[in-house]
């Protein structure tokens, strides 16, 4: 269905010369990131303070909305201190590298069904491209850590590189399950496939991957991994302030620090967008197939047509809303969970997320084969049976290894009594 905006923009954009079109699409890439990042900072501080029962910044402008601008002005006019023994080239290039991946990935986010609503190019290998570029983000952190000539910074960079390698794997495997199910690496065709009937049976709802069992598991793993890849709490070990002062950006001040800050928030935004596109139905407002609903309930036909029109014409708005939702989840996680210990971080990535993601991947393959040969119901049964077998085996293996290592609560001398009211904790060794 062609909406008014669609016709307007299609004819308007195709009548423009090529370089104007290119410029407009580049602005579509840059502007949301540049405009939204200060807003994100405000949102994070206000939301966090609300969650922690504080007030937060409320002095500059209405509700403190101008606080990011004030902060920005302050950062610009601060003295730019450059330490003396640094590796100057690496020190200066690191913030720029930190900013690069967010913008590079932002170029492939699908803001709507039209081709020009994908800012740069809807590349055929969209998901692989996303994985490839997101893995470059760590260079900014690692180089900042190395270039600052500071042990704390260096340790921050080291942690970041180890963390990224560990979580990149689980992220890739969780996305591989989705790619296997859709048969496409292209962002828009993944969104398109999410508009099909839910589980291939419920005609009225859309098949957003977060509603399917394998998609839900993938979504949880991807969410954890994306928090880890953007170095956000509870995975912000590279900048753990109680251990490493400020980690990799200890030696950075003024503008260069602001660039790191911006890179982090832009990455948050972009990863939320990727999450929305792959798991939350992309630019669709609600997981309802309006044209099917209007056939089922003719009395609602007008409403359905209106909703369909809204869905097509304001696709960018719904996508933006889903990005905002993702960012709120980021902030929510930060407000809720304490920072992980380093060994916990590693064992979460390697011993929990990776096996679960790989198993999910294999079960999706099983589900596809069985449902193609024996029908969809048998496919789901085989998926769940496989998942239960894995869960039993996995819990056996982990508890056995914990027993072998002497890591159970009893062996560590910790006895928990009922309700946690009385705890006796003895420290062994």
Partner 1 sequence: MLPEQITPGLLVFAAMGGIAALAALGVILFPNAVRSALCLVLNFFVLAGLYFTLGAELLGITQIVVYTGAIMVLFLFVIMLLNLAAPQQLNEKGDIKKPLGVVMGLGMLALILAQLQVAIGKDFGPRSEANFGTPEVVGRTLFTLYAFPLEIVGILLVVGIVGSILLAKRKI
Q: Given the rule CB under 8 A, which of 145-153, 226-234, 251-259, 403-411 is the region that contacts partner 1?
A: 145-153
Among 131, 268, 320, 354, binds partner 1 (CB under 8 A): 131
**Cβ neighbours for 174, distance < 8 A, ≥ 6 positions apart:** 217, 218, 219, 221, 222, 225, 357, 360, 361
Print the binding letters for residues 85-124 with partner 1: x by CB under 8 A, - otherwise.
--x-xx---------------------------------x
Q: Given the rule CB under 8 A, which of 50-58, 142-150, 242-250, 375-383 is the region that contacts partner 1?
A: 142-150
170 touching partner 1, by CB under 8 A:
no
Minimum Å gap between C-beta 151 and partner 1 is 7
Q: Which residue has the tokens 């753990």?
A: 240
**In the complex with partner 1, which residue's Cβ is closer, 405 or 422?**
405
Tokens read off for 337: 């969970």
Among 9, 13, 21, 161, binds partner 1 (CB under 8 A): 161
Task: Note the residue count of the chain.
Answer: 429
**In the complex with partner 1, which residue's Cβ is closer, 9 or 135?**
135
Among 165, 297, 337, 369, binds partner 1 (CB under 8 A): 165
Distance CA 263, CA 67 (A): 19
369 touching partner 1, by CB under 8 A:
no
Among 133, 223, 224, 258, binds partner 1 (CB under 8 A): 133
Among 119, 157, 273, 349, binds partner 1 (CB under 8 A): 157
The DSSP line for 35-64 is: HHHHHHHHHHHHHHHHHTT---S-SSSGGG
Minimum Å gap between C-beta 295 and partner 1 is 35
22 touching partner 1, by CB under 8 A:
no
347 touching partner 1, by CB under 8 A:
no
CB 160 within 8 A of CB 114: no
**In the complex with partner 1, which residue's Cβ is closer, 72 or 126?**
126
Tokens read off for 295: 């056939």
Minimum Å gap between C-beta 286 and partner 1 is 32
139 touching partner 1, by CB under 8 A:
yes
Q: Given the rule CB under 8 A, which of 3-11, 13-21, 38-46, 143-151 is the region that contacts partner 1?
A: 143-151
Minimum Å gap between C-beta 132 and partner 1 is 4
**In the complex with partner 1, which residue's Cβ is closer, 85 or 423?**
85
Q: Given the rule CB under 8 A, which of 157-165, 192-200, 234-242, 273-281 is the region that contacts partner 1?
A: 157-165
* Cα atoms found within 13 Å of the Cα of residue 290, Cβ hemisphere only: 17
Residues 173-192 that bind partner 1 (CB under 8 A): 185
The DSSP line for 164-232 is: HHHHHHHHHHHHHHHHHHHT---HHHHHHHTTSEETTTEEEEE--GGGSHHHHHHHHHHHHHHHHHTT-
Specify the DSSP element, H or E, that contains 424: strand 423-425
162 touching partner 1, by CB under 8 A:
yes
- Number of residues located near partner 1, criterion CB under 8 A: 30
Among 42, 103, 111, 146, binds partner 1 (CB under 8 A): 146
Among 71, 122, 168, 236, binds partner 1 (CB under 8 A): 168
**In the complex with partner 1, which residue's Cβ is closer, 2 or 372?**
372
Instruction: Give SS3 for 416.
Output: strand
Q: Which residue has the tokens 């002095």?
A: 59
List % helix, strand, coil for the chain (3-state, nearest 5).
Answer: 70, 5, 25
DSSP state of 285: S
Instruction: Determine phi and psi for 428, rounding to 5 degrees.
Output: -85, 170
Q: Which residue has the tokens 């601060």?
A: 78
The DSSP line for 351-370 is: IIIHHHHHHHHHHHHHHHHH
Angle at 229 between CA 327 and CA 334, to 5 degrees: 45
Distance CA 250, CA 252 (A): 6
**In the complex with partner 1, which residue's Cβ is closer, 96 or 125?**
125
409 touching partner 1, by CB under 8 A:
no
300 touching partner 1, by CB under 8 A:
no
Instruction: Give SS3 for 348.
Output: helix
Given the rule CB under 8 A, which residues bind partner 1?
A: 87, 89-90, 124-125, 128-129, 131-133, 135-136, 138-139, 142-143, 145-146, 151, 154-155, 157-158, 161-162, 164-165, 168, 172, 185
């Amino acid at each position: 269905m062609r909406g008014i905006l669609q016709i307007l923009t299609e004819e308007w954009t195709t009548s423009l010369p090529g370089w104007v079109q290119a410029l407009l699409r580049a602005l579509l890439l840059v502007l949301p990131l540049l405009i939204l990042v200060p807003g994100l900072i405000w949102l994070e501080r206000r939301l966090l303070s609300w969650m922690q029962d504080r007030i937060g910044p409320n002095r500059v402008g209405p509700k403190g909305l101008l606080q990011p601008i004030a902060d920005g002005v302050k950062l610009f006019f601060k003295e730019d201190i450059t330490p003396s023994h640094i590796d100057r080239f690496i020190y200066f290039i690191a913030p720029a590298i930190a900013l690069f991946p967010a913008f590079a990935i932002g170029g492939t986010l699908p803001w709507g069904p039209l081709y020009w609503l994908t800012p740069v190019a809807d590349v055929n290998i969209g998901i692989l491209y996303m994985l490839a570029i997101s893995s470059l983000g760590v260079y900014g952190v690692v180089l900042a850590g190395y270039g600052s000539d500071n042990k704390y910074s260096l340790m921050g960079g080291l942690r970041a590189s180890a963390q990224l390698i560990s979580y990149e794997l689980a992220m890739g495997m969780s996305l591989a399950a989705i790619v296997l199910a859709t048969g496409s690496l292209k962002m828009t065709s993944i969104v398109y496939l999410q508009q099909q009937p839910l589980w291939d049976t419920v005609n009225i709802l859309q098949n957003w991957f977060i509603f399917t069992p394998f998609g839900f598991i993938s979504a949880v793993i991807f969410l954890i991994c994306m928090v880890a890849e953007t170095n956000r709490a509870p995975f912000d070990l590279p900048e753990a302030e109680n251990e490493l002062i400020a980690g990799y950006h200890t030696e950075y001040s003024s503008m260069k620090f602001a660039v790191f800050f911006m890179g982090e928030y832009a990455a948050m935004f972009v990863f939320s967008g990727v999450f929305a596109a792959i798991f939350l139905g992309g630019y669709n407002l609600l997981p309802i197939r309006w044209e099917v609903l209007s056939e089922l309930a003719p009395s609602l036909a007008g409403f359905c047509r209106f909703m369909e029109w809204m869905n097509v014409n304001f696709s960018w708005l719904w996508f933006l809303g889903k990005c905002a939702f993702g960012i709120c989840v980021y902030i929510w996680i930060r407000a809720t969970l304490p920072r992980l210990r380093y060994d916990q971080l590693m064992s979460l990535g390697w011993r929990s997320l990776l096996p679960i993601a790989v198993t999910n991947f294999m079960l999706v393959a099983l589900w596809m084969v069985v449902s193609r040969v024996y029908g969809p119901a048998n496919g789901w049964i085989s998926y769940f049976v496989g998942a239960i077998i894995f869960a039993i085996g996995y819990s056996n293996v982990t508890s056995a290894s914990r027993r072998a290592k002497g890591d159970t609560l009893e062996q560590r001398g910790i006895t928990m009594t009922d309700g946690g009211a009385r705890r006796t904790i003895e420290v062994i060794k």
